[in-house]
Amino acid sequence: MEPTPSLLLLFCISFFLLPAFIAGQTCQRTCGKQILKFPFGSGPGCGDPRFQSYITCSQEKLTFNTHTGSYFVTSIDYTNQVIQISDPTMSTCSCTVPSKGFGLDWDAPFTFDDSTIFALLDCSMSSSPVYNSNGLDNEGNTSKLLCDQGTPICSLLYSCRPISTINLPISTCCIYTPVNLGPSFEMDLQKLQCSSYSGFYSFNGQEYNPESWKYGIALKYKFSVNNDYPILCATCERGYGVCGYTGVYNSFICNCPNGINTTRDCFFTASYDNGFRLLPWKNGIAWMIYPMAWSLIWILL
């Protein structure tokens, strides 16, 4: 039995329209004042699923989550793929507080950016593994936190009034850069026998003025092993869509401005004069085309 023209028309319309109608939530383009772009999303089903548990938006605040705590995202550099976060337990020129340290989840799609500098404060000079000259910690393992005392950073930090109240020799400060916390990605200050730490990712053009440094932690992220920007996502964003995912296999979807999720992009492609004409999902055009198409099918049948 050969297919009738009506069935062929039904197939063609279904091919173009049905993929556009997938139940889902609306993905936001911002979280508070922070602009959201791939791979980050405003909630479940938005952005890249690998980043969903690490970057979350709650009460208009963008937060970075790891096993050592939750930290506010202060800025995102999408060009260089770097996020900056703040740690309230970090000592700065404004305050000094005891801290347990900082760690990354070993399977997180983040690494420390080369701009990050850690200063371990109030460290024991007698038994702390960071001062072990032979490169071994107290358990005989290769130490990843050997002191670099060849910079003036410690002296500059101790010129800050809050840090100077620690009232200990500057020699108990240990500068650590580039940051490499070993396979566990962990800076355990208790194990290192240091009471606090400071971190910054920019001298802000004033290398000898610690009050002007940008305190926090800069983290690098990658889209994938090859770090290629997904082609489907780039196409989706060109149509003012937001990249997301759905289903048990986290299949790609494009969340369009009207809240419609498609499997391709936010444009309806139609054949026109041996070419193609693109009609964007704006002003309810999609909702007008869809019922009109099905009405035509019923007439033909």
> What are the b/e assignments for 177-204, b being 16+ CB within 10 Å?
bebebeeebbbbbeebbbbbbbbbbbbe
Does residue 278 surpass a pLDDT of 70? Answer: no
The Cα-based distances of 82 to 38, 78, 223, 280 in angstroms read: 13, 7, 12, 32
Task: Check whether 229 has a pLDDT greater than 70.
Answer: yes
177-194: pLDDT as tens digits: 778 777 778 888 888 888
Over 60: is that where the pLDDT of 75 sits? Answer: yes
User: For 134-144, how does the pLDDT look when each residue is reduced to its tens digit (9 = 90+)?
Assistant: 544 555 554 45
Question: What is the phi/psi pair of residue 269, to 5°?
Answer: -95, 125
For the entire predicted model, the pTM comes to 0.77
CA distance 77 to 100: 28
More confident residue, 123 or 295: 123
CB count within 10 Å of CB 266 equals 26
Average pLDDT over residues 255-269: 77
- pLDDT at residue number 281: 40
109 to 75, 82, 102, 252: CA distances (angstroms): 18, 12, 16, 19
Beta bridge partners of 272: 275
Q: For a pLDDT cut of 70, what percent of the chain falls above it?
A: 72
Whole-number pLDDT of residue 109? 94
Q: Are 122 and 231 in contact (CB under 8 A)?
A: no
